Structure 1
């Protein structure tokens, strides 16, 4: 259990950091201020500030986020009557504003705010030290910081460095940069795996017959054979072949193979096993292995493309066919799968890391508000309309999408608990 927890945190941490770093890097390149880069969710444990960004480690290792200036859910407005303390720099401009009771500014001047603007005009009007006989006007430095209620110090968000102030192409690239990084991470890990394993699985329809418990071997199929079709359905690659076989548990099938340019047909019954709560067919074969240096070097790309094709096909079948919660998995399912992956050592963990990174990339591209794909869709609508969707409309759409995702997450999590621990 301890090993599983450690591996889960490491794997999830690598994927989250890779994804969020994509957003962070592209935002910085686009002139968008990144106020916070958080690993984890919930209460903060520690934070560190560098280059106008606060890097935060939070308690729950279930995700992370990059908080950019101008995010729709941000509220930096300091309401009239709010007591704050401010720090004044050598040029008589405010360099830091403290709104938290948990954090004290060194040499902070107590001020009761009457009016403030931290976006456009950058000022605070208020009463110093409770003296209401004189209203003081303070100019706020463009690069000033604000200490929020939970004690986290972040940069203020002037208009010129906000997300919406960046050019549309830069905003689109920023929105998809996390997905791009997850694809790159999958390629790198699959390439490492190819060298660790001494080869890479071929994506064509050439198979290796397992030495035991193989109905394919018993029927006469041999390693090196290429399976051309299953029950008349052509199987030009491993993904198509695997899906055809998995869809036929405990069924009699006709398999046509190519052996040394000669075609043969075999008829036999598949076996079955449980996978994610449902029966899948299998015949005791595995993918052929390419052990050449070139095969290993480019194995990360070929495996990533092949796996992505399988995931997209599965996603499409969920949309067009019978949808089941068993087709989805949340943190509980990921934890359970981590436990299985650790049993296969480094190979299993690397394979799981690459698959999960690729899975996250594809899911994030779905055009649902709240996901990167939903944000990209709004960007495309803006490009077509020649003007952005109103802030109010975008907020409503995002809240609806977020609500849908939360409801789906609750249902998936409960289904995972029932599937893995109650049955």
Structure 2
């Protein structure tokens, strides 16, 4: 149960942060965000604020930002459709109900003949009980439409649609999701630095002394500073490791400063060259904040190296992980405690950010590539061509996900 909860929490945080990047930049670019959803599937809760509908859906494995004109349809209202309209005092349509699950009190029942919710903002049709007189109603720019599942969203006029925003703004919207994942990774690693500390190898101060170890038996305490070993000056933890390794099983004269005094101790390392001390972990802001950046960079370079090997070297599904593999890794991370789970969250966030920048059309990287092509050509691809390219990319991603998931399952046995 703990693993399931950890998996859901990690997944929701990753998706929420990623989609919030798209959401925030779209809002700032004048693009209408019709819906911001956490989860997929049937709607549980919905509320609307500032022309955006926020929904919580049943399956907590994903989420999305639905922008006007971004793979959005004309609300799928065809001639002959029966719907209900709510008018304001000026006779302008403010709500359109296409759902059988919702009833608009005082609404006008209409059979649609023609509608335009993008440019003219009009609906033409026949009122219930009068099938001879065709009427036309103006639609408010910020009118809402209740869709088949009962979700109420704002209509999508052309002036607030994604594809009609300047290309540089669209590029920023596409990049914002991965960018937020990079920011999350940095923040999570900083939190790890504060919680667990950052290993300090360039100091002669030790961390913990393991109970029952040679160092513990000799009287060395946690946090002590090792001044010298057999008259050899110790300046770093690496110096300590080198000195101990050279004298496996031999008794060493260790000069240490601890508890406000300098003491000379006799410590006999094990035959493996261990005395039972750990590196000093610095939990200060001066250590934790830089660690967030350096650890993110270090892991990012390793992830890129693996991706490069998939293209230039031997391709193997074992280098990738799908939902099953991530669930297994989440189980291990959760068993390691909060520090381990936060570290894993940062690692996954980096992976998500980098993977989304791969130039495959269905991913953010593919959309950015199309934005760059548009900048070079000084005109966008046609909607039809872009749709075909996106469908091909989506098909490839689905096939890869299925293959990776099957491989993850087989690796469990």
Q: Which TM-score band applies after superposition, normalised by the shorter structure?
A: 0.7 to 0.9
SS at match of 2:380: coil
Aligned match of 2:316: 324
Match of 2:333 among 341, 362, 372: 341
Within 5 Å, which residues of 2 pair with 1:193-272?
A: 193-197=192-196, 199-201=197-199, 224-225=237-238
Give the whole-Å Cα distance in 1 for the aligned partners of 2:406 and 2:308: 24
Displacement after TM superposition at 1:57 (Å): 1.2
- Bigger mean CA offset, 24-33 vs 334-343: 334-343
Give the Å deviation of 1:41: 1.5
Instruction: Tell me the residue number matched to 1:291.
Output: 282
Contact in 2 for aligned 1:203/1:306 (Cα 8 Å)? no
CA offsets, 1:62-109, max 9 Å, x none?
211101000224232421100010110122110010111111122221
Between structure 1 and structure 2, the one with the greater Rg is 2
Aligned-partner Cα distance in 1 for 2:53–2:379: 32
Is 1:361 matched with 2:353? yes
* Residues in 1 aligned to 2:151 and 2:176: alpha-carbon distance in whole angstroms: 26
Q: Does structure 1 residue 409 correspond to structure 2 residue 375?
A: no
**Residue 7 (structure 2) aligns with:** 8
Note the C-alpha offset of 1:124: 0.4
Contact 2:20-2:177 within 8 A present in 1 as well: yes
Within 2, Cα distance between the matches of 1:368 and 1:123? 38
Going from structure 1 to structure 2, the CA distance change for 1:392 and 1:335 (only over 3 Å counts) comes to: same
**Contact kept in structure 2, 1:87 and 1:96, CA below 8 Å:** yes
Shift of 1:290: 6.0
TM-score normalized by the length of structure 1: 0.79
Distance 2:350 2:105 in 1: 47
- What corresponds to 1:238 in structure 2? none
Number of aligned positions between the proteins = 356
SS across alignment from 2:156: coil
Secondary structure in 2 matching 1:298: helix
Task: Encode CA deviations 1:285-324: one digit per residue, 9 max, x unaligned.
Answer: xx97662732222111111111111111111111111111
* Secondary structure at 2:36 match in 1: strand
1:290 and 1:296 in contact (8 A); partners too: no
Are residue 379 (structure 1) and residue 378 (structure 2) matched? Answer: no
Structure 1 CA distance for aligned equivalents of residues 201 and 161 of structure 2: 45
Secondary structure in structure 2 of the residue aligned to 1:5? helix
Alpha-carbon shift at residue 136 of structure 1 (Å):
0.8
Structure 2 stretches lacking a partner, 5+ long:
211-233, 247-273
Contact 2:40-2:58 within 8 A present in 1 as well: yes
Question: Where does residue 111 of structure 2 map in the other structure?
Answer: 112
User: Contact 2:201 / 2:237 at 8 angstroms: preserved in 1?
Assistant: no
Map of 2:54 onto structure 1: 55
Matched, 1:153 2:145: no
Asked if the contact 1:70/1:162 (under 8 Å) is kept, the reply is yes
- Give the alignment's TM-score, normalised by structure 2: 0.81
Report the Cα offset of residue 259 of structure 1. Answer: 6.5
For the aligned residue pairs, the C-alpha RMSD in angstroms reads 2.8
**Residues of 2 paired with 1:187 and 1:31: CA distance?**
29
C-alpha distance in 1 between matches for 2:280 and 2:392: 47
Structure 1, unpaired ranges of 5+: 213-221, 227-257, 265-283
**Residues 321 and 211 of structure 1: is their aligned pair in 2 closer, same or farther, counting only changes over 3 Å?**
farther
Counterpart Cα distance in 2 of 1:371 and 1:84: 36
CA gap 1:203/1:68 in 2 versus in 1, 3 angstroms: farther
Alignment-derived partner of residue 24 in structure 2: 25
Correspondent of 1:312 among 304, 312, 316: 304
